[in-house]
């Protein structure tokens, strides 16, 4: 891999008026060549209005959905606009810190990686998570590892940095939070060179707007089975 790789940051957003501007500014402050693609998934709060201030920003592209389709659908929409060498998904809340990007990025420059996962649970300093969320993630990762034969510590992490050429080859079917097990299964089937690096993570609670629930965990079990056993490579 060459140096000075351009990073495409995809930000799917739905009703994040309290965090979206701060989040975009944090991404803009990262010292890497990059572009930012924000897909507003038909927010019903002031998110869309706040995004209007970036319409003339050369580093930021804003795309609006007229219907709420889900995270996976937003990622599919953003993929049409990617011009970078690498891509990463960034949730629109502030649980993940964009200043971690260089830690993942260097593996493409130094180790010729295909994908790098930012793990919340591999020994880094982290704010204490809830019991159910922590062990729910650990179970889903373990269950996924059984099928993929990978040794990941955090399959459900939002931070998956992937070579763009590989990312564009992978058909994304899920419209919701099933993107994480789907992309993991499909990377494993392609024998991708996957690295994992610890990242800082500051979980928010449901009172702060957290959207994922136990129902999404149940769906994830099905997606793990579906994309590992019922889909060809």
| CATH number of the domain that residue 40 is part of | 3.90.550.10
Task: Give the residue numbers spanning the domain of 178.
Answer: 7-229
What was the pLDDT predicted at 176? 82
> For the chain, what is the domain count?
1
Q: Nearest Cα to 79, choosing from 192, 162, 193?
A: 162
Residue 153 in contact with residue 119, Cβ under 8 Å? Answer: yes
The answer to the question of residue 2 being in a domain is: no
β pairing state of 160-163 and 86-89: antiparallel
Task: Give a yes or no: residue 31 inside a domain.
Answer: yes
pLDDT digits (tens, 9 = 90+) for 90-133: 999 999 999 999 999 999 999 899 999 999 987 665 555 667 77
Q: What is the mean pLDDT of the chain?
A: 91
What is each CA distance from 200 to 100, 116, 125, 139, in whole angstroms? 8, 15, 6, 20
Low-confidence ranges of the chain (pLDDT < 50): 206-209
Does some domain include residue 135? yes
């Amino acid at each position: 891999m060459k140096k000075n790789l351009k990073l495409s940051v995809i930000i799917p957003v739905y009703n994040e008026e309290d965090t979206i501007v701060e989040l975009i500014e944090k991404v803009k402050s990262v010292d890497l060549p990059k572009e930012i693609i924000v897909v507003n998934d038909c927010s019903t709060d002031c998110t869309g209005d706040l995004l209007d201030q970036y319409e003339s920003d050369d580093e930021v592209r804003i795309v609006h959905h007229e219907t709420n389709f889900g995270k996976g659908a937003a990622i599919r929409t953003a993929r049409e606009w990617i011009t970078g060498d690498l891509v990463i998904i960034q949730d629109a809340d502030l649980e993940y810190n964009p200043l971690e990007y260089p830690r993942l990025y260097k593996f493409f420059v130094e180790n010729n990686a295909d994908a790098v996962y930012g793990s919340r649970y591999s020994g880094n300093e982290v704010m204490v998570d809830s019991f159910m969320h922590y062990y729910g993630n650990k179970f889903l990762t373990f269950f996924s590892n059984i099928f993929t034969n990978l040794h990941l510590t955090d399959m459900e992490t939002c931070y998956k940095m992937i070579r763009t050429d590989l990312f564009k080859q992978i058909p994304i079917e899920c419209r919701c939070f099933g993107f994480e097990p789907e992309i993991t299964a499909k990377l494993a089937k392609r024998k991708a060179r996957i690295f994992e690096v610890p990242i800082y993570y500051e979980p928010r609670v449901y009172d702060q707007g957290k959207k994922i629930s136990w129902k999404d965990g149940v769906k994830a079990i099905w997606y793990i089975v579906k994309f590992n056993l019922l889909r060809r490579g």
